[in-house]
């Protein structure tokens, strides 16, 4: 039976459940289960909504052999609105049954046929199967830099797993944590690295994004060659009131200069962060000149909440400089951006543009695992 | 294995991509019979064939590439259209 791509309708739910069971039986982890509802829990498609997801299946007769998700979202590419689509959670039965080795390629090629301007984000590192496949297809790829600021050095040294990778490193980290030398060293390093004067920005909590956010978007979008729409109608869908998002607008004097969305998460036996309390700057917006003030405001809010570590991913070079000027360290990143050749052609020379595009953890599949 | 120009080229390309001796491949060689023929190598094979034959496969053709014989059939059918 030939495999074809079909929209996920309710009729397919039993076949998706059977697909998930075969994948689980083959040793695929629970995080790689395809949703067993055809209506997306996150970003379902409604009339008039500009940000939504569609689920697709690779079907073989009455069986499902693969699945993927396309997230549709408006972007600003240069000065123009553009439809750029996020390809995610591609699952192929080829992982557990080599008879279906072609399904991964089939799904990707089918998605590209539907939407030539595709991108992927996250993926866990360049060496994973999907980035390997994308590299073969000559997608343009880069890591979105990861920045962190240690608020509680002793706990950082006791909990952050990459710091404690070997017995010797664990011994040194524990010695640093318990003697106070670690606190002294990290505090000194962050202070020395912090080069900017206090920018005296104030943060005010908000419940919803409103006209002020649209006015800010109108001022900011032109500064970034590729940025997902951050209009209020989109932000209120992505960061709805009543969830765990900490949404603030940032002002200097009477001037509204930006906003940020943060998360305050108590980790539990996390493979990177152990049991630290992590403050994440998941999303934010300002013109590049005001990046430092927004970062300072977000960091102050998270520090007051007594997080152990503040983290962020940001692709824009100017924002990266602002993070470093605020004393943040840049750490290894496994948060990968990949642009299809169709998207790359629209972007221009990738080595030049990759540091100007605007991507954070709030993009792609949102601030998951945080 | 009966020789033909397309088969010879497919065998050589598949052997190179799958990192096996060409002599070990037959018309029935497939992901089930060649250990190194996984999803990523399948993509590599598709791309190598597209480059060598100066064409692009449709998604449904990729699905039909169940073994070497199917690949040869697809290429034989596509080649005259070029």
Domain ranges of chain B: 5-78
Q: Do A189 and A313 reside in the same domain of the chain?
A: yes
Does A61 lie at the interface with B, CB-CB under 8 angstroms? no
Kindly report the pTM of this predicted structure: 0.87
Instruction: For CA atoms A238, A20, A37, A115, give the dihedral sign.
Output: positive
Residues spanned by the domain of A327: 146-332
In a domain, A349, yes or no: no
Q: Do A160 and A280 reside in the same domain of the chain?
A: yes
Residues of B in contact with A93 (CB under 8 A): none
Q: pLDDT confidence of A198, banded at 50, 70, 90? A: low
| CATH assignment of the domain containing A309 | 3.40.630.30
Q: How are beta strands A277-285 and A309-313 bridged, if at all? A: parallel
Tokens 């509204």 found at: A256
Task: Please state, rounded to an integer, the average pLDDT across all residues of chain A.
Answer: 91
Residues of A in contact with B32 (CB under 8 A): 98-99
The topology under which CATH files domain B5-78 is 1.10.1200
SS3 content of chain B, % helix, strand, coil (to 5): 65, 0, 35
Q: Do A106 and A169 reside in the same domain of the chain?
A: no
Q: Which residue has the higher pLDDT, A47 or A296?
A: A296
What local confidence, expressed as pLDDT, does residue A142 receive?
A: 97
Size of interface A-B (CB pairs under 8 A): 66
Report the number of secondary-structure helices (H) and strands (E) in chain B: 4, 0
Give the closest-approach CA distance of A104 to chain B in angstroms: 6
Chain B positions touching chain A (beta carbons under 8 Å)? 31-32, 37-44, 46-47, 57-60, 62-66
Q: pLDDT confidence of A270, banded at 50, 70, 90? A: confident
**Is the confidence at residue A168, as pLDDT, over 80?**
no
Residue A336 is encoded by which pair of tokens? Answer: 């990968």
Q: pLDDT digits over A82-108, tens only?
A: 999 999 999 999 999 999 999 999 999
Q: Do A204 and A325 reside in the same domain of the chain?
A: yes
**Total domains, chain A:** 2
Q: Which of B37, B46, B66 is closest, CB to CB, to A105?
A: B46
In a domain, A215, yes or no: yes
Inspect the interface and report whether the beta carbons of A103 and B39 lie closer than 8 Å. yes
Choice among A59-63, A358-362, A366-370, B76-80 with the minimum mean pLDDT: A366-370
What local confidence, expressed as pLDDT, does residue A166 receive?
A: 73
Q: Do A198 and A111 reside in the same domain of the chain?
A: no
% of residues, chain A, pLDDT over 70: 89
In a domain, A182, yes or no: yes
């Amino acid at each position: 039976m030939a495999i074809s791509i079909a929209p996920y309708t309710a009729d397919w739910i039993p076949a998706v459940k059977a697909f998930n069971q075969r994948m689980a039986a083959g040793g695929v982890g629970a995080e790689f289960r395809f949703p067993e509802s055809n209506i997306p829990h996150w970003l379902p498609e409604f009339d008039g909504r500009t940000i939504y997801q569609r689920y697709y299946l690779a079907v073989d007769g009455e069986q499902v052999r693969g699945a993927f998700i396309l997230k549709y979202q408006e972007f600003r590419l240069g000065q123009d609105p553009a439809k750029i689509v996020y390809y995610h959670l591609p699952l192929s039965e080829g992982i557990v049954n080599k008879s279906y080795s072609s399904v991964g390629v089939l799904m990707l090629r089918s998605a590209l046929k539907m939407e030539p301007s595709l991108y992927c984000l996250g993926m866990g590192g360049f060496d994973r199967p999907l980035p390997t496949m994308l590299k073969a297809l000559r997608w343009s790829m880069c890591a979105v830099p990861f920045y962190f600021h240690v608020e509680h050095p002793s706990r950082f040294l006791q909990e952050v797993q990459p710091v404690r990778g070997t017995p010797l490193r664990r011994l040194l980290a524990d010695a640093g944590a318990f003697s106070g030398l670690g606190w002294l060293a990290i505090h000194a390093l962050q202070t020395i690295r912090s080069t900017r004067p206090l920018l005296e920005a104030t943060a005010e909590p908000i419940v919803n994004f409103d006209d002020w956010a649209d006015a800010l978007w109108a001022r900011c979008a032109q500064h970034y060659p590729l940025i997902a729409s951050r209009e209020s109608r989109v932000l209120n869908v992505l960061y709805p009131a009543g969830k765990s998002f900490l949404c603030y607008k940032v002002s200097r004097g009477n001037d509204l200069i930006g906003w940020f969305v943060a998360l305050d998460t108590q980790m539990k036996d996390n493979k990177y962060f152990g049991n630290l309390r992590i403050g994440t700057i998941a999303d934010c917006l300002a013109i590049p000149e005001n990046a430092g003030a927004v970062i300072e405001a977000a960091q102050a809010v998270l520090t007051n909440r007594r997080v152990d570590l503040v983290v962020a991913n940001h692709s824009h070079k100017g924002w990266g400089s602002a993070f470093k000027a605020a004393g943040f360290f840049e750490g290894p990143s496994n948060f990968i951006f990949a642009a299809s050749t169709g998207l790359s052609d629209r972007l221009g020379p990738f080595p030049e543009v990759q540091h100007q595009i605007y991507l954070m953890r709030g993009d792609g599949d949102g601030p998951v695992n945080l | 294995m009966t020789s033909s120009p397309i088969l010879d080229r497919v065998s050589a390309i598949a052997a190179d991509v799958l990192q096996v001796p060409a002599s070990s491949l037959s018309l029935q060689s497939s992901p089930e019979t060649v250990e190194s023929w996984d999803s990523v190598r399948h993509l590599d094979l598709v791309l190598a064939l597209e480059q060598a034959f100066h064409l692009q496969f449709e998604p449904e053709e990729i699905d039909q590439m169940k073994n070497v014989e199917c690949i040869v059939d697809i290429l034989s059918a596509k080649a005259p259209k070029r």
